[in-house]
Structure 1
Amino acid sequence: MSGWRGGTRGNLFGGLPSLAGGEAFEDLLRRNPVRIERIVSSGRPEPTLYDQEQDEWVCLLQGEAELQLGKERVPLQAGDYLFIPAHTPHRVLRTSAEPPCIWLAVHIDPGN
């Protein structure tokens, strides 16, 4: 970008980790109260149940997945996004292996 003198720059699809299982989390930006991260999921996600202090907005950029939010199962395909309010129990049930799932997650810390 000609004349650009901003902060960090990168590519969401570049430098993807090769995973046999689980997920890889990479912070892209931290500016209180917001944290933006890239998540790459293998075809065998861990069944971790998350109950987070902050709100989370996620967008599935590539692949297919299924989440459990409370008792509801939510299928997602590339381009789908979802807002998960703080303290909403959720987990990844299924992810595609090819192509791997790539997520963009925005975490919003609660106000003080």
Structure 2
Amino acid sequence: MTNIFDYELPKPDSEHFKTLLKEKNVEIKTVVSNALKTPQTFVDKKDEWVVVLKGCAKLEINGIVHKLKSGDTLFIAANTKHTLLKTKKVVVWLSVYIG
């Protein structure tokens, strides 16, 4: 059994990724972002669905800035460039990769 809120706190302005489950074409990870001020850009080969479990963040996709808070979800299609612009303090995410 795993508690999703038992996580390592990364250094400020960095992130920590932990795989919780990897089965066939699905991978579920927790991501902990600690007071990010340096934008982080990603292009994943799989579709990704994320939910913010704790905290607030700004994420840009195709020129649109999404302000996310606890409980907000977002779908990011495979091969879509997306940039995590910044987080307010610590943000805990659940990311589900499909494909």
Q: Which TM-score band applies after superposition, normalised by the shorter structure?
A: over 0.9
* Residue identity opposite 2:55 in structure 1: G
Structure 2, unpaired ranges of 5+: none
Provide the TM-score with structure 2 as the length reference: 0.93
Please identify which structure carries the higher strand content.
Answer: 2
* Residue identity opposite 2:56 in structure 1: E
Compared CA separation, residues 46 and 24, structure 1 to 2 (3 A)? farther
CA distance in 2, matches of 1:32, 1:45: 35
Q: How many angstroms does 1:81 deviate by?
A: 0.4
> What is aligned with 1:108?
98
The alignment-based identity, stated in percent, is: 34
Contact 1:23–1:46 (CA<8 Å) still a contact in 2?
Answer: no
Q: CA RMSD in A?
A: 1.2
- The partner residue of 2:28 within 36, 59, 71 is 36
Alignment of 1:41-56 (within 5 A): 41-56=33-48
CA distance in 1, matches of 2:10, 2:41: 23
Contact 2:7–2:32 (CA<8 Å) still a contact in 1?
Answer: no
Larger mean Cα displacement after TM superposition, 13-22 or 50-59: 13-22
Q: How many angstroms does 1:18 deviate by?
A: 4.0
Aligned residue-pair number: 99
Contact 2:10–2:16 (CA<8 Å) still a contact in 1?
Answer: no
> What is aligned with 1:58?
50
Larger C-alpha radius of gyration, 1 or 2? 1
